[in-house]
Amino acid sequence: MTTINASSIDTLRTRLTTATVFAPGTDGYEESLVRWSDTGMKRAGVVVQPIDPTDIQAALIWAREEDIDIAVKGGGHSTAGTSSSDGGLVIDLSRMNKVTVDRSSKTITAQGGATWKEVDDGGAIHGLVTVGGTVNHTGVGGLTLGAGYGWLSGQFGLTIDNLLSVTVVLADGSLVKASATEHPELFWGLRGAGYNFGVAVEFTYQAYERTNPVYSGLMAFPPHQLENVVQLLNALLAEPDSRAGAMCIFAQAPDGSGPMIIVICFYDGTKEEGEAQFAGFLALEPVLNTVDMIPYSAVNTLQNPQATYGDRKAFKGIFYEPPLAPKFVRSVFEDFMAKLQSEPDLMASAIILEFIDMRKICEVPLSATAFASRNSTQNGIVYLRWTDASKDLEHRSWAREAQAKWTAELDARSKGRETGEYVPQYINYAEPGDSVVPNIYGENFSRLQRVKAQYDPTNIFNKMHPISLATSK
Protein backbone atom coordinates (compact mmCIF):
# COMPACT_ATOMS: atom_id res chain seq x y z
CA MET A 1 0.00 0.00 0.00
CA THR A 2 1.26 3.46 -0.83
CA THR A 3 1.14 6.04 1.96
CA ILE A 4 0.27 9.71 2.13
CA ASN A 5 2.68 11.67 4.28
CA ALA A 6 1.38 13.29 7.42
CA SER A 7 2.05 16.85 6.26
CA SER A 8 -0.13 16.32 3.18
CA ILE A 9 -2.97 15.05 5.37
CA ASP A 10 -2.49 18.05 7.67
CA THR A 11 -2.86 20.30 4.62
CA LEU A 12 -6.08 18.50 3.73
CA ARG A 13 -7.44 19.03 7.24
CA THR A 14 -6.83 22.77 7.06
CA ARG A 15 -8.92 23.00 3.89
CA LEU A 16 -11.94 21.18 5.30
CA THR A 17 -14.63 22.72 7.45
CA THR A 18 -17.00 20.13 8.93
CA ALA A 19 -15.81 16.82 7.44
CA THR A 20 -14.41 14.02 9.59
CA VAL A 21 -10.97 12.77 8.55
CA PHE A 22 -9.60 9.30 9.26
CA ALA A 23 -5.92 8.54 8.65
CA PRO A 24 -4.15 5.23 9.33
CA GLY A 25 -3.64 4.75 13.05
CA THR A 26 -6.36 7.19 14.12
CA ASP A 27 -9.54 6.29 15.98
CA GLY A 28 -12.27 5.22 13.59
CA TYR A 29 -9.96 4.51 10.65
CA GLU A 30 -10.43 0.73 10.69
CA GLU A 31 -14.21 1.10 10.93
CA SER A 32 -14.18 3.50 7.97
CA LEU A 33 -12.74 0.75 5.74
CA VAL A 34 -15.62 -1.69 6.31
CA ARG A 35 -17.63 -2.57 3.21
CA TRP A 36 -20.56 -4.87 2.46
CA SER A 37 -18.08 -7.50 1.30
CA ASP A 38 -14.69 -8.08 2.89
CA THR A 39 -13.32 -8.54 -0.64
CA GLY A 40 -14.20 -4.91 -1.33
CA MET A 41 -12.03 -3.52 1.48
CA LYS A 42 -8.74 -1.71 0.82
CA ARG A 43 -6.51 0.30 3.13
CA ALA A 44 -7.05 3.92 2.22
CA GLY A 45 -4.40 6.58 2.65
CA VAL A 46 -7.05 8.87 4.09
CA VAL A 47 -10.85 8.76 4.44
CA VAL A 48 -12.95 11.92 4.40
CA GLN A 49 -16.58 11.82 5.56
CA PRO A 50 -18.18 15.12 4.51
CA ILE A 51 -21.56 16.51 5.43
CA ASP A 52 -21.43 19.31 2.87
CA PRO A 53 -20.42 19.49 -0.82
CA THR A 54 -17.86 22.22 -0.08
CA ASP A 55 -15.63 19.71 1.69
CA ILE A 56 -15.94 17.32 -1.24
CA GLN A 57 -14.81 20.11 -3.53
CA ALA A 58 -11.82 20.86 -1.31
CA ALA A 59 -10.86 17.18 -1.00
CA LEU A 60 -10.99 16.64 -4.76
CA ILE A 61 -8.81 19.68 -5.48
CA TRP A 62 -6.32 18.54 -2.82
CA ALA A 63 -6.16 15.02 -4.28
CA ARG A 64 -5.53 16.37 -7.77
CA GLU A 65 -2.75 18.62 -6.52
CA GLU A 66 -1.14 15.68 -4.71
CA ASP A 67 -1.77 13.24 -7.60
CA ILE A 68 -3.61 10.85 -5.27
CA ASP A 69 -6.03 8.12 -6.30
CA ILE A 70 -9.71 8.88 -5.61
CA ALA A 71 -12.58 6.57 -4.71
CA VAL A 72 -16.15 7.44 -3.76
CA LYS A 73 -18.18 5.38 -1.28
CA GLY A 74 -21.96 5.50 -1.14
CA GLY A 75 -23.49 2.25 0.06
CA GLY A 76 -20.20 0.36 -0.28
CA HIS A 77 -21.71 -2.72 -1.94
CA SER A 78 -19.03 -3.25 -4.59
CA THR A 79 -17.40 -6.66 -4.14
CA ALA A 80 -14.58 -5.58 -6.47
CA GLY A 81 -13.52 -2.69 -4.26
CA THR A 82 -14.57 0.17 -6.52
CA SER A 83 -15.67 2.19 -3.48
CA SER A 84 -12.24 1.74 -1.87
CA SER A 85 -8.69 2.89 -2.63
CA ASP A 86 -5.35 1.27 -1.89
CA GLY A 87 -3.47 4.15 -0.33
CA GLY A 88 -5.54 6.94 -1.87
CA LEU A 89 -8.39 9.24 -0.85
CA VAL A 90 -11.84 7.80 -0.12
CA ILE A 91 -14.70 10.28 -0.11
CA ASP A 92 -17.20 8.48 2.11
CA LEU A 93 -20.70 9.93 1.69
CA SER A 94 -22.32 7.91 4.48
CA ARG A 95 -22.96 11.00 6.63
CA MET A 96 -24.78 12.69 3.73
CA ASN A 97 -27.90 10.53 3.95
CA LYS A 98 -30.75 13.01 4.30
CA VAL A 99 -33.98 12.36 2.37
CA THR A 100 -36.63 15.03 1.80
CA VAL A 101 -40.06 14.64 0.22
CA ASP A 102 -42.08 17.27 -1.63
CA ARG A 103 -45.66 16.04 -1.45
CA SER A 104 -46.99 18.75 -3.77
CA SER A 105 -44.64 17.93 -6.65
CA LYS A 106 -44.48 14.21 -5.80
CA THR A 107 -40.70 14.17 -5.68
CA ILE A 108 -38.16 12.53 -3.38
CA THR A 109 -34.69 14.03 -2.95
CA ALA A 110 -31.89 11.92 -1.47
CA GLN A 111 -28.33 12.85 -0.65
CA GLY A 112 -25.60 10.76 -2.23
CA GLY A 113 -24.88 8.72 0.89
CA ALA A 114 -28.47 7.64 1.51
CA THR A 115 -29.63 4.06 1.16
CA TRP A 116 -32.90 2.90 -0.35
CA LYS A 117 -34.21 2.27 3.16
CA GLU A 118 -34.17 6.02 3.82
CA VAL A 119 -35.88 6.63 0.48
CA ASP A 120 -38.51 3.91 0.98
CA ASP A 121 -39.26 4.93 4.56
CA GLY A 122 -39.25 8.66 3.81
CA GLY A 123 -41.59 8.22 0.88
CA ALA A 124 -43.93 5.94 2.83
CA ILE A 125 -44.57 8.64 5.41
CA HIS A 126 -46.07 10.77 2.63
CA GLY A 127 -47.73 7.91 0.72
CA LEU A 128 -45.14 8.02 -2.11
CA VAL A 129 -42.86 5.47 -3.77
CA THR A 130 -40.20 5.55 -6.48
CA VAL A 131 -38.21 2.92 -8.38
CA GLY A 132 -35.39 1.82 -6.10
CA GLY A 133 -33.16 -1.07 -5.07
CA THR A 134 -34.51 -4.47 -4.09
CA VAL A 135 -32.05 -4.72 -1.16
CA ASN A 136 -32.79 -1.69 0.92
CA HIS A 137 -29.33 -1.15 2.42
CA THR A 138 -27.93 -0.62 -1.08
CA GLY A 139 -26.75 2.95 -1.68
CA VAL A 140 -28.87 5.18 -3.89
CA GLY A 141 -25.84 6.48 -5.77
CA GLY A 142 -24.39 3.30 -7.21
CA LEU A 143 -27.71 1.84 -8.23
CA THR A 144 -28.96 5.06 -9.79
CA LEU A 145 -25.80 5.91 -11.73
CA GLY A 146 -25.84 2.44 -13.30
CA ALA A 147 -29.55 2.69 -14.31
CA GLY A 148 -31.39 0.80 -11.54
CA TYR A 149 -34.00 -1.96 -11.77
CA GLY A 150 -36.64 -2.40 -9.06
CA TRP A 151 -39.98 -3.99 -8.28
CA LEU A 152 -41.76 -1.01 -9.82
CA SER A 153 -39.80 -1.06 -13.10
CA GLY A 154 -42.62 -2.82 -14.95
CA GLN A 155 -44.83 0.21 -14.34
CA PHE A 156 -42.40 3.11 -14.24
CA GLY A 157 -39.19 1.99 -15.94
CA LEU A 158 -35.67 2.20 -14.56
CA THR A 159 -34.54 4.37 -11.68
CA ILE A 160 -32.88 6.71 -14.20
CA ASP A 161 -36.18 7.01 -16.08
CA ASN A 162 -37.56 8.62 -12.91
CA LEU A 163 -34.51 10.75 -12.18
CA LEU A 164 -35.22 14.48 -12.47
CA SER A 165 -31.86 15.95 -11.49
CA VAL A 166 -28.45 15.17 -10.01
CA THR A 167 -26.16 17.56 -8.17
CA VAL A 168 -22.54 16.68 -8.85
CA VAL A 169 -19.08 17.78 -7.75
CA LEU A 170 -16.98 17.59 -10.90
CA ALA A 171 -13.32 16.67 -11.27
CA ASP A 172 -12.27 20.34 -11.25
CA GLY A 173 -14.10 20.90 -7.96
CA SER A 174 -17.07 22.79 -9.39
CA LEU A 175 -20.58 22.04 -8.13
CA VAL A 176 -23.26 21.74 -10.83
CA LYS A 177 -26.83 20.59 -11.08
CA ALA A 178 -27.57 18.38 -14.09
CA SER A 179 -31.08 17.95 -15.46
CA ALA A 180 -32.95 17.98 -18.75
CA THR A 181 -32.42 21.75 -18.92
CA GLU A 182 -29.11 22.24 -17.05
CA HIS A 183 -25.96 20.51 -18.32
CA PRO A 184 -28.17 18.17 -20.38
CA GLU A 185 -25.24 16.21 -21.86
CA LEU A 186 -23.89 15.52 -18.38
CA PHE A 187 -27.38 14.50 -17.26
CA TRP A 188 -27.56 12.13 -20.23
CA GLY A 189 -24.23 10.54 -19.27
CA LEU A 190 -25.03 10.28 -15.58
CA ARG A 191 -28.04 8.13 -16.43
CA GLY A 192 -26.26 4.85 -17.10
CA ALA A 193 -22.55 5.71 -16.92
CA GLY A 194 -22.63 8.11 -14.00
CA TYR A 195 -19.65 6.69 -12.12
CA ASN A 196 -17.42 8.41 -14.69
CA PHE A 197 -18.20 12.08 -14.21
CA GLY A 198 -18.05 13.20 -10.60
CA VAL A 199 -19.28 12.80 -7.04
CA ALA A 200 -23.08 12.72 -7.05
CA VAL A 201 -24.20 14.45 -3.86
CA GLU A 202 -27.95 14.70 -4.43
CA PHE A 203 -30.61 12.96 -6.52
CA THR A 204 -34.21 14.03 -7.12
CA TYR A 205 -36.67 11.36 -8.25
CA GLN A 206 -40.20 11.40 -9.57
CA ALA A 207 -42.44 9.63 -7.07
CA TYR A 208 -45.90 8.05 -7.28
CA GLU A 209 -48.79 7.82 -4.87
CA ARG A 210 -49.01 4.46 -3.11
CA THR A 211 -50.78 4.06 0.22
CA ASN A 212 -52.16 0.55 -0.17
CA PRO A 213 -50.11 -2.55 0.69
CA VAL A 214 -48.83 -4.88 -2.04
CA TYR A 215 -48.98 -8.65 -2.45
CA SER A 216 -45.48 -9.98 -1.81
CA GLY A 217 -43.39 -12.52 0.06
CA LEU A 218 -41.49 -15.77 -0.34
CA MET A 219 -42.53 -19.19 -1.57
CA ALA A 220 -40.11 -22.12 -1.31
CA PHE A 221 -40.16 -25.33 -3.33
CA PRO A 222 -38.19 -28.60 -3.20
CA PRO A 223 -35.73 -29.41 -6.03
CA HIS A 224 -38.05 -31.82 -7.85
CA GLN A 225 -40.38 -28.88 -8.58
CA LEU A 226 -37.70 -26.94 -10.46
CA GLU A 227 -39.04 -27.50 -13.98
CA ASN A 228 -42.58 -26.60 -12.90
CA VAL A 229 -41.33 -23.40 -11.27
CA VAL A 230 -39.34 -22.44 -14.39
CA GLN A 231 -42.38 -22.95 -16.61
CA LEU A 232 -44.48 -20.72 -14.37
CA LEU A 233 -41.80 -18.02 -14.33
CA ASN A 234 -41.58 -18.18 -18.11
CA ALA A 235 -45.37 -17.73 -18.24
CA LEU A 236 -45.07 -14.50 -16.20
CA LEU A 237 -42.97 -13.01 -19.00
CA ALA A 238 -44.94 -14.57 -21.84
CA GLU A 239 -48.10 -12.82 -20.69
CA PRO A 240 -46.66 -9.89 -18.73
CA ASP A 241 -48.47 -7.72 -16.26
CA SER A 242 -46.64 -4.46 -15.52
CA ARG A 243 -47.67 -4.69 -11.87
CA ALA A 244 -46.08 -8.13 -11.39
CA GLY A 245 -42.52 -9.32 -10.89
CA ALA A 246 -40.59 -12.22 -9.42
CA MET A 247 -37.17 -13.42 -8.41
CA CYS A 248 -36.05 -17.03 -8.33
CA ILE A 249 -33.26 -17.97 -5.93
CA PHE A 250 -31.32 -21.25 -5.83
CA ALA A 251 -29.93 -21.69 -2.33
CA GLN A 252 -29.48 -24.02 0.60
CA ALA A 253 -32.30 -23.95 3.15
CA PRO A 254 -31.34 -21.77 6.15
CA ASP A 255 -31.93 -24.72 8.49
CA GLY A 256 -29.45 -26.85 6.54
CA SER A 257 -32.12 -29.29 5.36
CA GLY A 258 -30.90 -29.15 1.74
CA PRO A 259 -31.33 -27.34 -1.58
CA MET A 260 -34.40 -25.27 -2.24
CA ILE A 261 -35.94 -22.99 -4.85
CA ILE A 262 -37.18 -19.69 -3.46
CA VAL A 263 -39.53 -17.46 -5.43
CA ILE A 264 -40.06 -13.88 -4.29
CA CYS A 265 -43.47 -12.80 -5.60
CA PHE A 266 -44.57 -9.21 -6.16
CA TYR A 267 -47.89 -7.81 -7.28
CA ASP A 268 -48.90 -4.19 -6.93
CA GLY A 269 -52.59 -4.81 -6.40
CA THR A 270 -55.12 -6.51 -4.15
CA LYS A 271 -54.70 -9.88 -2.51
CA GLU A 272 -57.24 -11.42 -4.86
CA GLU A 273 -55.37 -10.08 -7.89
CA GLY A 274 -52.04 -11.27 -6.53
CA GLU A 275 -53.33 -14.74 -5.76
CA ALA A 276 -54.73 -14.97 -9.28
CA GLN A 277 -51.42 -13.86 -10.77
CA PHE A 278 -49.45 -16.46 -8.78
CA ALA A 279 -52.13 -19.17 -8.70
CA GLY A 280 -49.86 -21.65 -10.47
CA PHE A 281 -47.20 -21.31 -7.79
CA LEU A 282 -49.75 -21.69 -5.01
CA ALA A 283 -51.06 -24.84 -6.71
CA LEU A 284 -47.61 -26.40 -6.39
CA GLU A 285 -48.11 -26.26 -2.61
CA PRO A 286 -44.88 -24.53 -1.55
CA VAL A 287 -43.18 -25.90 1.55
CA LEU A 288 -42.88 -22.30 2.78
CA ASN A 289 -45.26 -19.45 1.98
CA THR A 290 -44.87 -16.01 3.55
CA VAL A 291 -46.74 -14.12 0.82
CA ASP A 292 -49.20 -11.60 2.21
CA MET A 293 -50.28 -7.99 1.87
CA ILE A 294 -47.35 -5.90 3.13
CA PRO A 295 -46.22 -2.26 2.85
CA TYR A 296 -44.17 -1.55 -0.26
CA SER A 297 -41.26 -0.44 1.92
CA ALA A 298 -41.14 -3.97 3.38
CA VAL A 299 -40.74 -5.61 -0.05
CA ASN A 300 -37.20 -4.31 -0.36
CA THR A 301 -36.28 -6.00 2.94
CA LEU A 302 -37.11 -9.54 1.78
CA GLN A 303 -33.57 -10.27 0.54
CA ASN A 304 -31.83 -8.62 3.48
CA PRO A 305 -31.34 -11.84 5.52
CA GLN A 306 -29.32 -13.28 2.63
CA ALA A 307 -27.53 -10.02 1.77
CA THR A 308 -26.03 -9.16 5.15
CA TYR A 309 -22.72 -7.37 5.62
CA GLY A 310 -19.52 -9.35 6.11
CA ASP A 311 -17.71 -12.39 4.71
CA ARG A 312 -16.05 -12.53 1.31
CA LYS A 313 -18.22 -12.26 -1.80
CA ALA A 314 -18.12 -12.60 -5.57
CA PHE A 315 -20.88 -11.03 -7.60
CA LYS A 316 -21.07 -12.16 -11.23
CA GLY A 317 -23.82 -10.92 -13.52
CA ILE A 318 -25.68 -13.42 -15.66
CA PHE A 319 -28.07 -12.52 -18.45
CA TYR A 320 -30.64 -14.60 -20.28
CA GLU A 321 -33.14 -14.35 -23.10
CA PRO A 322 -36.57 -15.66 -22.01
CA PRO A 323 -38.05 -18.18 -21.99
CA LEU A 324 -35.58 -20.13 -19.88
CA ALA A 325 -34.92 -23.70 -21.02
CA PRO A 326 -35.83 -26.01 -18.12
CA LYS A 327 -33.11 -28.49 -19.10
CA PHE A 328 -30.45 -25.78 -18.97
CA VAL A 329 -31.72 -24.48 -15.63
CA ARG A 330 -31.69 -27.99 -14.18
CA SER A 331 -28.05 -28.36 -15.23
CA VAL A 332 -27.15 -25.02 -13.60
CA PHE A 333 -29.02 -25.93 -10.42
CA GLU A 334 -27.37 -29.35 -10.07
CA ASP A 335 -23.88 -27.99 -10.75
CA PHE A 336 -24.38 -25.22 -8.22
CA MET A 337 -25.65 -27.49 -5.46
CA ALA A 338 -22.82 -29.95 -6.09
CA LYS A 339 -20.36 -27.09 -5.66
CA LEU A 340 -21.93 -26.07 -2.35
CA GLN A 341 -21.77 -29.65 -1.10
CA SER A 342 -18.09 -29.91 -2.00
CA GLU A 343 -17.29 -26.52 -0.41
CA PRO A 344 -19.25 -26.08 2.85
CA ASP A 345 -17.77 -22.59 3.26
CA LEU A 346 -19.92 -21.56 0.27
CA MET A 347 -23.22 -22.66 1.83
CA ALA A 348 -24.52 -19.08 2.13
CA SER A 349 -24.21 -18.57 -1.65
CA ALA A 350 -27.04 -18.28 -4.16
CA ILE A 351 -27.98 -17.89 -7.80
CA ILE A 352 -30.60 -15.18 -8.28
CA LEU A 353 -32.71 -14.76 -11.42
CA GLU A 354 -34.95 -11.75 -12.03
CA PHE A 355 -38.23 -11.74 -13.94
CA ILE A 356 -39.28 -8.19 -14.84
CA ASP A 357 -41.71 -6.89 -17.44
CA MET A 358 -39.32 -4.99 -19.73
CA ARG A 359 -41.92 -3.25 -21.91
CA LYS A 360 -41.87 0.08 -20.08
CA ILE A 361 -38.06 0.07 -20.01
CA CYS A 362 -37.92 -0.60 -23.75
CA GLU A 363 -40.32 2.27 -24.53
CA VAL A 364 -37.50 4.72 -23.80
CA PRO A 365 -35.29 5.25 -26.88
CA LEU A 366 -31.77 3.85 -26.54
CA SER A 367 -30.32 7.29 -27.26
CA ALA A 368 -32.35 9.00 -24.52
CA THR A 369 -29.92 7.99 -21.75
CA ALA A 370 -26.42 6.54 -21.61
CA PHE A 371 -27.78 3.17 -20.50
CA ALA A 372 -27.22 0.78 -23.39
CA SER A 373 -29.31 -2.24 -22.38
CA ARG A 374 -32.95 -1.62 -23.20
CA ASN A 375 -34.06 -5.00 -24.50
CA SER A 376 -35.89 -8.14 -23.38
CA THR A 377 -32.79 -9.69 -21.80
CA GLN A 378 -33.31 -10.51 -18.13
CA ASN A 379 -30.72 -10.13 -15.36
CA GLY A 380 -29.37 -12.41 -12.68
CA ILE A 381 -26.43 -12.94 -10.34
CA VAL A 382 -24.07 -15.71 -9.33
CA TYR A 383 -23.59 -14.69 -5.70
CA LEU A 384 -20.83 -16.56 -3.86
CA ARG A 385 -20.14 -15.99 -0.18
CA TRP A 386 -17.33 -17.51 1.89
CA THR A 387 -14.91 -16.77 4.76
CA ASP A 388 -11.54 -18.33 3.81
CA ALA A 389 -9.40 -15.66 2.11
CA SER A 390 -7.06 -18.30 0.71
CA LYS A 391 -9.93 -19.48 -1.50
CA ASP A 392 -10.54 -16.10 -3.17
CA LEU A 393 -9.01 -16.94 -6.55
CA GLU A 394 -10.54 -20.42 -6.63
CA HIS A 395 -14.07 -19.25 -5.86
CA ARG A 396 -13.91 -16.30 -8.22
CA SER A 397 -12.68 -18.61 -10.96
CA TRP A 398 -15.63 -20.94 -10.37
CA ALA A 399 -18.03 -17.98 -10.45
CA ARG A 400 -16.61 -16.95 -13.82
CA GLU A 401 -17.08 -20.50 -15.12
CA ALA A 402 -20.71 -20.47 -13.97
CA GLN A 403 -21.16 -17.05 -15.57
CA ALA A 404 -19.66 -18.34 -18.84
CA LYS A 405 -22.35 -21.04 -19.10
CA TRP A 406 -25.04 -18.37 -19.06
CA THR A 407 -23.10 -16.33 -21.61
CA ALA A 408 -22.91 -19.35 -23.92
CA GLU A 409 -26.64 -19.93 -23.52
CA LEU A 410 -27.35 -16.28 -24.33
CA ASP A 411 -25.03 -16.50 -27.34
CA ALA A 412 -27.10 -19.36 -28.66
CA ARG A 413 -30.42 -17.64 -28.02
CA SER A 414 -29.81 -13.94 -28.66
CA LYS A 415 -30.81 -12.69 -32.08
CA GLY A 416 -28.34 -9.85 -31.71
CA ARG A 417 -25.49 -12.30 -31.25
CA GLU A 418 -26.61 -14.40 -34.22
CA THR A 419 -26.08 -11.41 -36.50
CA GLY A 420 -22.72 -10.63 -34.92
CA GLU A 421 -24.00 -7.66 -32.92
CA TYR A 422 -23.12 -7.59 -29.22
CA VAL A 423 -26.05 -6.77 -26.93
CA PRO A 424 -24.81 -4.70 -23.93
CA GLN A 425 -25.95 -5.84 -20.49
CA TYR A 426 -26.71 -4.28 -17.12
CA ILE A 427 -23.70 -2.32 -15.87
CA ASN A 428 -24.45 -2.78 -12.15
CA TYR A 429 -24.20 -6.57 -12.52
CA ALA A 430 -20.90 -6.42 -14.40
CA GLU A 431 -17.76 -6.15 -12.31
CA PRO A 432 -14.91 -4.09 -13.78
CA GLY A 433 -12.84 -6.20 -16.13
CA ASP A 434 -15.55 -8.83 -16.65
CA SER A 435 -14.98 -10.39 -20.06
CA VAL A 436 -18.71 -11.16 -20.18
CA VAL A 437 -19.32 -7.49 -20.95
CA PRO A 438 -16.83 -6.48 -23.68
CA ASN A 439 -18.70 -3.26 -24.48
CA ILE A 440 -20.88 -2.15 -21.61
CA TYR A 441 -21.87 1.14 -23.29
CA GLY A 442 -22.84 -0.18 -26.73
CA GLU A 443 -23.71 2.41 -29.36
CA ASN A 444 -23.61 5.19 -26.77
CA PHE A 445 -19.85 4.86 -26.27
CA SER A 446 -18.62 7.54 -28.68
CA ARG A 447 -21.03 10.11 -27.26
CA LEU A 448 -19.92 9.16 -23.75
CA GLN A 449 -16.32 9.76 -24.76
CA ARG A 450 -17.23 13.33 -25.67
CA VAL A 451 -19.02 13.88 -22.35
CA LYS A 452 -16.07 12.37 -20.50
CA ALA A 453 -13.64 14.66 -22.32
CA GLN A 454 -15.69 17.68 -21.28
CA TYR A 455 -16.34 16.84 -17.63
CA ASP A 456 -13.44 14.57 -16.58
CA PRO A 457 -10.67 14.93 -19.18
CA THR A 458 -7.93 13.50 -16.93
CA ASN A 459 -9.99 10.44 -15.91
CA ILE A 460 -10.08 11.15 -12.18
CA PHE A 461 -13.19 8.97 -11.82
CA ASN A 462 -11.99 5.63 -13.14
CA LYS A 463 -13.10 2.89 -10.77
CA MET A 464 -16.26 1.48 -12.38
CA HIS A 465 -16.14 0.74 -16.14
CA PRO A 466 -14.07 3.82 -16.99
CA ILE A 467 -14.67 5.47 -20.34
CA SER A 468 -11.47 5.70 -22.33
CA LEU A 469 -10.91 9.08 -23.91
CA ALA A 470 -10.99 9.31 -27.70
CA THR A 471 -7.56 9.55 -29.29
CA SER A 472 -6.90 12.28 -31.81
CA LYS A 473 -5.90 11.19 -35.31
Mean pLDDT of residues grouped by 10 in the chain (473 residues)?
87 97 97 96 97 98 96 94 96 98 98 98 97 96 96 98 98 97 98 96 98 97 98 97 98 89 98 98 97 97 94 94 97 98 96 98 96 94 97 96 93 61 76 61 93 96 87 48
Answer positive or negative: Cα dihedral of 279, 299, 130, 373.
Answer: negative
| Residue 467 within any structural domain of the chain | no
Domain-ending residue, one of 92, 125, 151: 92
Beta bridge partners of 208: 129
Q: What are phi and psi of 226, to 5 degrees?
A: -55, -50
| Number of other residues whose CB lies within 10 A of the CB of residue 193 | 29
Domain-ending residue, one of 74, 92, 110: 92
| Distance from chain centroid for Cα 136 | 11
d(C-alpha 430, C-alpha 404), whole Å? 13
Amino acid, single-letter form, for residue 269: G
CA angle 116, 265, 224 (to 5 degrees): 130
110 and 53 housed in the same domain: no
| Residue 294 within any structural domain of the chain | yes
| Residue 472 within any structural domain of the chain | no
Range of the domain at 341: 214-429
d(C-alpha 318, C-alpha 237), whole Å? 18
Amino acid, single-letter form, for residue 115: T
192 and 298 housed in the same domain: no
61 and 76 housed in the same domain: yes
Closest CA to 199 of 53, 36, 370, 21: 53
> What is the helix, strand, coil percentage profile of the chain, to 5?
35, 20, 40
Q: What are the C-alpha distances in Å from 123 to residues 106, 142, 245? A: 9, 20, 21
229 and 305 housed in the same domain: yes
- Neighbouring C-alpha atoms within 13 Å toward the C-beta of 418: 7
Q: If you ran DSSP here, which 8-state letter would residue 38 be given?
A: G
186 and 285 housed in the same domain: no
Domain-ending residue, one of 193, 209, 225: 209
d(C-alpha 383, C-alpha 39), whole Å? 13
Total number of domains in the chain = 3
User: How much is the pLDDT for 421?
Assistant: 55
Q: If you ran DSSP here, which 8-state letter would residue 115 be given?
A: B
User: How much is the pLDDT for 420?
Assistant: 47
171 and 294 housed in the same domain: no
113 and 84 housed in the same domain: no
d(C-alpha 183, C-alpha 296), whole Å? 34
201 and 68 housed in the same domain: no
| Residue 443 within any structural domain of the chain | no
Please, where are the H alpha helices in 1-115? 6-15, 29-32, 53-66
145: domain CATH number is 3.30.465.10
| Residue 348 within any structural domain of the chain | yes
260 and 203 housed in the same domain: no
User: How much is the pLDDT for 473?
Assistant: 41
109 and 24 housed in the same domain: no
192 and 319 housed in the same domain: no
Judge contact between 219 and 262, C-beta under 8 A: yes
SS3 at position 154: helix
User: How much is the pLDDT for 2?
Assistant: 67
68: domain CATH number is 3.30.43.10
367: domain CATH number is 3.40.462.20
Q: Of all helices (H) and strands (E), which one includes residue 313? A: strand 312-320
104 and 80 housed in the same domain: no
- 288's torsion region: left (phi>0), alpha (psi -120 to 50) or beta? beta
Please, where are the H alpha helices in 262-356? 271-277, 279-283, 296-299, 326-342
d(C-alpha 172, C-alpha 174), whole Å? 6
Judge contact between 378 and 319, C-beta under 8 A: yes
Judge contact between 139 and 96, C-beta under 8 A: no
d(C-alpha 91, C-alpha 230), whole Å? 43
